[in-house]
Chain A
Amino acid sequence: MTAAIAGIGATEFSKDSGRSELALAAHAGLAAITDAGLRPSDVDGMVTFTMDANAETALARELGVPELTFFGRVPYGGGAACAVVAHAAMAVATGAASTVLCYRAFNERSGRRFGQVHTPDGVDNGWHYPMGLVTPAASVAMFARRYQHEYDVTSEDFGRVAVLDRRAAATNPNAWFHGRPITLADHQASRWIVEPLRLLDCCQETDGAVALVVTTVDRARDLPRHPVVIAAAAQGSAADQFTMHSYYRDDLTGLPELGLVGRALWAGSGIGPEDLSALVLYDHFTPFVLVQLEELGFCARGEARHLLADGTLELDGRLPLNPHGGQLGEAYVHGMNGITEAVRQLRGTAANQIRDAEHVLVTAGTGVPTSGLVLSR
């Protein structure tokens, strides 16, 4: 790849930002541009999520970005996280733009909460919402129940993801749950949201924004920060794909769209699972973290629970997972804070720094058409 992440920025992560979503986007955008050692007038491209409420034009006006020669959006909720970087990388590789600002900003806790009941558009949703399957947690719980059934996986196996995330968040000052680790017993005592998911299987809700700047590797080398190279970026949508409800495939225990992303990442980067220094796996709900480990080839089907139980994925383990605390522990910014964590790890500036981090894998929202990145120092 010929593109790099040159700058990152974020707002504080809170439960009530007290500001508009546009104000959050502007704050994070300016922070990322400044971090890259650039000025707003250097930006000529923007990419965000289809779900983002802030128009590229509005953000450009606030930041004083004069001209945009490239702008685009990526659909499917959190599945867009790594894809916005992929689109930005393609734009700078083709010359459609030289410097692209990727952003995601929302008041997801104090404003529109994804976990509440909404009446969605779209014919596909008509097969699920009217029947009482009305929240993302419920959609994932349906997969999780079948996964438990086929592989003898327990609620405690899911809980170990939450415990791991919260342990890392406890020592990350930027995390909402800084200083507040949990035990497996806490997880087991937390109330049911949608069985088999408990409250502590579900990620938190956050007000906040994250932005990052993508440019060519050559240009990034002239900037003050050590560039983080986009070794590979990929999107994936698999056979008989639905958004959150791919219930009509033969197998309900995998995430084939993520398997597709994984294969593209290994092929595109020449880097394999064994070369990675750390993993940042999308963790809106714990069960899909297990399935991702399996889809990406870190273990066989149904075996991820052992990786979680044997310490491999801990901060001091062989392959640390979510060293920032993930979305369960740090913040839920639709996966974008996972990308900035990978950048910090590769710069050597993370709160829970992995020694000599060289390659970090990042994934985006699961259960939806998704995306992933391999970032390298």
Chain B
Amino acid sequence: MRNPTHPERGAVPAEAALMMRVLAGDRPALVEIHDRYYPAVYRFVSLQVADPDLAADLTSDVFVRFLEAITGPNPPQSTLKGWLFGVAKNVVRGHYRQVYRHPEVGLEEDVDSDDAELDAAVTRDEERAALADAMSALTEEQQHVLALRYGAGLPILEAAETMGKTAGAVKQLQARAVAALARQMTQRTASV
């Protein structure tokens, strides 16, 4: 589509052409989409899901869903990046919904090691898990903005475009989300 009256909108057709190539059965186009967006979507997911293997599986789900959607009767109409993060948000939400319905049987892992490096890695993982856990108590939008900004690492303008908001709105939402998360972390630390 071409509309010279909106010159500020530029790069989207390359994505659309990629999607149409996938529709036409072009494997390299599919690989290009996957490799271009997988890292950002993974970081987006991994901020909310502490287990790296699970984050990888969920990220992979996002791309299979993309393939399902693009070959279905109603292919994505939004920007590809926005669509992928939207689906990633829902995949993570679906995962937690499933977890709440069928709580994981936790086994106490008694890590007994003198290895300082391992200890540090465990501590980092615990911090990640605590953050992901605390994030799950925020509103959907707050989680989304934090995952976009700190997970996927999107600049403010791209996050604003992805969320359909102004840059100012995203900054405000981000600040509130960070403050809410800090309160959650403080509460959890106090309760422990």
Query: Are A and B associated in one complex?
Result: no
**Interface set of B (CB-CB < 8 Å, partner A):** none
